[in-house]
Amino acid sequence: MEPKSDRFEKVMDLARRRGFVWPTAECYGAVAGFIDYGPLGAMMKRRIEDLWRQLYVIQEGYYEIECPTIGQEAIFIASGHVKGFSDKMCECPHCGEYLRADHVAEGGGVAGAATMTEEVLAEILSPLPCPSCGEILGRVGVFSFNLMFQTGIGPGSQRKGYLRPETAQGMFTDFTRLLRFYRDRLPFGTVQIGKSYRNEISPRQGMIRLREFTQAEAEIFVHPNEKDHPFFSRYANRAVPLLSIRQQQEGLPAEPMTMEAAVRGKVIANEYVAYYLAVTHEILTRIGVRKDRLRFRQHLPDERAHYAEDCWDAEVLSERFGWVETVGIADRTDYDLRAHEKHSGESFMVHIPLDKPRTEVRNRVVPDMGKLGPRFRGKAKSVADALETAEPGPDGVTIRVGDEEIAIGPDLYTVRDEVVEVRGYDIRPHVIEPSYGIDRMIYMALEHAYDEEVVEGEVRRVLRFPPRIAPVQVAVLPLMARDGLDMTAREIATDLGRAGILAEYDDSGAIGRRYRRQDEIGTPYAVTVDYQTRDDRTVTVRERDTMCQVRVPVSRITEYLSALLSGREEFPAAPA
């Protein structure tokens, strides 16, 4: 059974009540794994995505692309998803619920269940209770279930398609065009934010495990032997809590380490991976993830994909769910490009020009046309062309002409040493991939921001969001909806809106109640127009966290709030 957590219930209750997150199509009975973002949730999501863009698109210079969410089968055969993108499941013999076998095992205290075989999992599950009905599972069959949603493209469904399980594949299949866009130079990157779909077996973890969710992924294409990030110094001194393979094996906790030290000490494989660990640390802490509830865990050898050079998860601590993988950062080598190259027939090699051309002695195969002509007749030219690019051994070489394989003896060609000028060489790029789950980021931002305290005998619930992700940035409240206070408040709200600040005008109910409502939705500042405003043209600005207030001239209010929201100015500290 999942442990009950008060905080999760409280956060989700607030999120539903105040219009952050709702179950989808509730009127028909909601289906697990789908959520709607309400007015405030959709705005908060946009703000988090924009912060992500600020770093990846504006700072890093990786342009965003947008590919379809449905892909033809060939893409996912090449990527390996058709064959291998599955989780192990079983069916409870008592209540008929489908269960994710490794999660049930882990719930029963078994570590490393995700990498176990079906047979071993079946053994392990038999004494454990079903998380749904509580009955002991007994002997159950465990089998693999592919997580992709399948669909048909066009009438008659002759063409199989899938809803994409990650945004990444579009960035690989567009590689050749991207390379040209970036003027044939490495390194370059591209990003995509959009929906991904996974038919999760039993998504019972709120916003953490969804069947339709948003990913923000970057694919950074680099030279295989040049994995020093050109701007590494930006983050070299940033200390990030790391839980390396060694620390996990020795049962040690995560320890902060600078990215410089981690790369030099070979804890992190290269500067690129370290750089994006640090960028991720920056993004997560800027959306309000608490530093003491964030760590970066390195994949253990048995959980890391066989082709990956290094792989880390940013894990965020949730009271109910424990450490939750929220971002994955991997050096995927050339696995993806190689796979698409093989299946599509297109070359994904990049030509690297040398700064200075150099000379090299190379073997050149010179076909003997006097012998090839009579022997191969009409095919002789094709045989000669194939021979010129072949690498013969002492006994000759086998070449391919069309569908035919032809063995050619050493009497049909000569090999000469030739001095050639080399102006460049071809490589297949490696891929560094930071992959963010936006919905998990939103849940963690909500959970970590949630706070309650007793103020004047009443519970005050507050979302202590950093101003940049708060859906409503300023509340504008006339003390009374009359005597011209409402007019002035509306004028202030309009001015703030013109400056690009989302200001909510609210004149309903007692002022204390209005403050509480704004605290609950995380609005960082409230402007109150009161009777003093009529005398001296000043208003109060109240800060959400301290509830302190300062008076500011109406003529300065837009400039002052802009400065507060952008962090250029700080709200005066509360008197000691």
Closest CA to 142 of 89, 87, 200: 89
Instruction: Give the rounded distance of the alpha carbon of 370 from its chain centre.
Output: 62
Q: Taking the complex as a whole, how short is the minimal distance between the CB of residue 330 and ligand GAP, in angstroms? A: 7
Name which position in 198, 238, 281, 320 contacts ligand GAP (CB under 6 A): 198
> What are the CA-CA distances from residue 172 to residues 169, 270, 507 (Å)?
5, 22, 52
Q: Which amino acid is at 531?
A: Y
Q: Is 271 in the site for ligand GAP (CB under 6 A)?
A: no
Instruction: Give burial (CB, 10 Å; 0-12/13-18/19+) of 390.
Output: middle
Does 13 engage in binding with ligand GAP (CB under 6 A)? no
Binding pattern for the stretch 391-430 against ligand GAP, x by CB under 6 A and - elsewhere = ----------------------------------------
Q: Does 209 contact ligand GAP by CB under 6 A?
A: yes
Kindly tell me which residue out of 241, 437, 478, 524 binds ligand GAP, with binding defined by CB under 6 A.
437
Considering the rule CB under 6 A, would residue 200 count as an interface residue with ligand GAP?
yes
201/269 with CB nearer ligand GAP: 201
- CA 407 to CA 384: how far, in whole Å? 13
Distance CA 238, CA 219 (A): 23
> Smallest Cα–Cα separation from 422: which of 489, 507, 365, 354?
354
- Shortest reach from residue 23's CB to ligand GAP, in Å: 15
Written as six digits, the tokens of 308 are: 């990956």
Instruction: Give the whole-angstrom CA distance, residue 570 versus residue 573.
Output: 8
Burial class (CB in 10 A: 0-12, 13-18, 19+), 318: buried
Cβ–Cβ < 8 Å for 392, 410: yes
Using CB atoms within 10 Å of the CB of residue 464, give its burial: 0 to 12 exposed, 13 to 18 middle, 19+ buried.
middle
Q: Which is nearer to ligand GAP, 81 or 542 (CB)?
A: 81
Shortest Cβ 167–ligand GAP spacing (Å): 7
Please report whether residue 341 would count as binding ligand GAP according to CB under 6 A.
Answer: no
- Nearest distance, CB of residue 40 and ligand GAP, angstroms: 20
Residue closest to ligand GAP (Cβ):
437
What does the block give as tokens for 247?
């620390």
| Per-residue tokens: 82 | 């058709």
- For ligand GAP, give the closer residue by CB, 215 or 540: 215
Count interface residues toward ligand GAP (CB under 6 A).
Answer: 18
Please choose, out of 11-19, 37-45, 296-304, 436-444, the segment that lies near ligand GAP by the rule CB under 6 A.
436-444
Residue 19 or 328 having the CB closest to ligand GAP: 328
- Structure token pair of residue 459: 């519970």
Compute the distance between CA of residue 75 and CA of residue 65 in angstroms, rounded to an integer: 17
CB 116 to ligand GAP: min, Å: 19
* Residue 231 and residue 243 in contact, taking contact as beta carbons nearer than 8 Å: no
Per-residue contact string for residues 360-389; x = within reach of ligand GAP by CB under 6 A? ------------------------------
Say whether 521 sits in a helix, a strand or coil: coil
**Candidates 115-123, 184-192, 209-217, 498-506; binding stretch for ligand GAP (CB under 6 A):** 209-217
280 scored as a contact of ligand GAP (CB under 6 A): no
Among residues 60, 87, 102, 217, the one that binds ligand GAP under rule CB under 6 A: 217
CB 52 within 8 A of CB 280: no
432: buried, middle or exposed (CB in 10 Å: 19+, 13-18, 0-12)?
buried
Under rule CB under 6 A, residue 166 binds ligand GAP: yes
Question: Stretches 74-82, 353-361, 435-443, 454-462: which one binds ligand GAP (CB under 6 A)?
Answer: 435-443
Check residue 215 for interaction with ligand GAP (CB under 6 A): yes
Residue 192 sits in the site that holds ligand GAP (CB under 6 A):
no
Cβ pair 303, 115 in contact under 8 A: yes
DSSP run (H or E) holding 358: strand 350-367
Verify binding: residue 318, ligand GAP, rule CB under 6 A. Answer: no
Angle at 160 between CA 157 and CA 163, to 5 degrees: 115
The residue range among 171-179, 206-214, 259-267, 408-416 that interacts with ligand GAP, by the rule CB under 6 A, is 206-214
Instruction: Tell me which of 13, 26, 66, 325 binds ligand GAP, using CB under 6 A.
Output: 325
Nearer to ligand GAP, 294 or 527 (CB): 294
Q: Is 297 in the site for ligand GAP (CB under 6 A)?
A: no
Binder to ligand GAP among 328, 373, 396, 497 (CB under 6 A)?
328
Q: Are 216 and 438 in contact (CB under 8 A)?
A: yes
Query: Does position 87 bind ligand GAP by CB under 6 A?
Result: no
Residue type at position 433: E
Q: Please tell me what DSSP assigns to residue 393.
A: B
Which of 87, 271, 439, 519 contacts ligand GAP by CB under 6 A?
439
Interface with ligand GAP, residue 168, by CB under 6 A = yes
Give whichever of 327 and 492 is closer to ligand GAP, judged by the CB atom: 327
Residue pair 317/326 in contact (Cβ under 8 Å)? The answer is no
- Structure tokens belonging to residue 484: 């011209």
Residues of the shown chain interacting with ligand GAP in the complex, contacts defined by CB under 6 A:
166, 168, 198, 200, 209-210, 213, 215, 217, 325-328, 433, 435, 437, 439-440
